[in-house]
Amino acid sequence: MSGTYAIETTGLSKAYGRVLAVDSVSLQVVPGEIYGFVGLNGAGKTTTIRALLGMIRPTAGSVGMLGHTVTPGARGPWHRVGHLVEKPAAYPELTVRENLEIARRLHAVSSAHAVSRVVERMGLTSEADRRAGVLSTGNLQRLALARALLHEPELLILDEPANGLDPAGVVEIRQLLVALARDQGVTVFMSSHILPEVGRLATRVGIIHKGRLLEEFDARRLEEVQALRLEVETRDLRAAAAVLTDAGYAVSWQSGEGKIVLREPRAVNAPDEVATLLVNKGTAPMRLAIVHEDLEGHFLRLTGGSQ
């Protein structure tokens, strides 16, 4: 197993009976990057993450992490890895501080101040002595993130880390993860179905759908992989759509959206011709804009828009 990558999977597959939850996923995560693992619910994100953490035995393929081969039950590089899998969980009868104290001891963190530090860092100071069973979903998520960060790992594997957080919390966690990667070189592997969030945060994106890794790209190439479209707004959309259709354009228009969308290169590369056509036919455009599809649009196009 190569030690070059923080995470490396080779042909990773996991079947439950006849259902193939993960299908031949091969990915590499370079140290220091934030890898956004994007997919719809049920796409195979959590199963992949469980396989990465040795919680399930792959049906085929292998997982390497920080130079170790991961096998369920075997010693792994777990003192260097922080994780959050699926819904956050904590012992309900224990306080936030006690839950973290258990994690501190199990990770053999010698500093007794580690708990207080992470409590403060995650904004849980006012909740520290409350029982976990009475925490809000957002604070439970913060507790789970605090547990993942407690031992200052060099690799974070986070399954939907923004779940349950309010908008301010989402921004806060985003800034925290970016700072960890930038300032401390922490590698972050995070799954999400909140696509704009991944777009703002990740340095690389992998898209998984129905168990298969459909695409991987550098987030800096996001604009390149995202298709362009021409958006047209006129006072009479129905008439404009008819004019464009008559001229042979493939028109995408829904009355509720208030705009016509043209995706073909003929339109995107020559918006002036579209404008001239509409003016000549008496349906002058109020607005013409070439727009990058957002990550969500890219994702839906890639997956055929299927749920």
What's the CA gap between 109 and 226, in Å, rounded?
44
121 or 131, CB closer to other proteins?
Answer: 131
Tokens found for residue 277: 């056509």
Burial of 29 per CB tally in 10 Å (0-12, 13-18, 19+): buried
261 makes contact with other proteins (CB under 8 A): no
12, β-bridge pairs: 25
For residue 70, the minimal CB distance to other proteins (Å) is 9
Q: Does 86 bind other proteins (CB under 8 A)?
A: yes
- Residue 290, φ and ψ in degrees, nearest 5: -95, 125
Residue 294 — left, alpha, or beta (φ > 0 → left; ψ -120 to 50 → alpha)? beta
Min separation Cβ 131 and other proteins, Å: 9
Q: How many CA atoms lie within 13 A of 7 on its CB side?
A: 29
Which of residues 39, 44, 54, 169 is near other proteins by CB under 8 A? Answer: 54
Min CB(158)–other proteins separation in Å: 13
Closest CA to 145 of 105, 94, 96, 192: 96
Judged by beta carbon, residue 153 or residue 199, the one nearer other proteins is: 153
The 102-141 site mask, x for binding other proteins (CB under 8 A), equals: xx-xxxx---------------------------------
- Give the range of 3-11, 83-91, 160-168, 233-241 binding other proteins by CB under 8 A: 83-91
For residue 57, state whether it binds other proteins (rule: CB under 8 A): yes
Task: Give the residue with the Cβ less far from other proteins, 106 or 284.
Answer: 106
One of 40, 55, 128, 288 touching other proteins (CB under 8 A) = 55
Of residues 32 and 77, the one with the C-beta less far from other proteins: 77
Collapsing DSSP states into helix, strand and coil, what is residue 94?
coil
Listing DSSP states for 97-162 in one string gives HHHHHHHHHHTT---TTHHHHHHHHTT-GGGTTSBGGG--HHHHHHHHHHHHHTT--SEEEEESTT
Q: Which residues bind to other proteins, rule: CB under 8 A?
A: 50, 53-57, 72-73, 75-76, 78-79, 81, 83, 85-87, 89-94, 98, 101-103, 105-108, 147
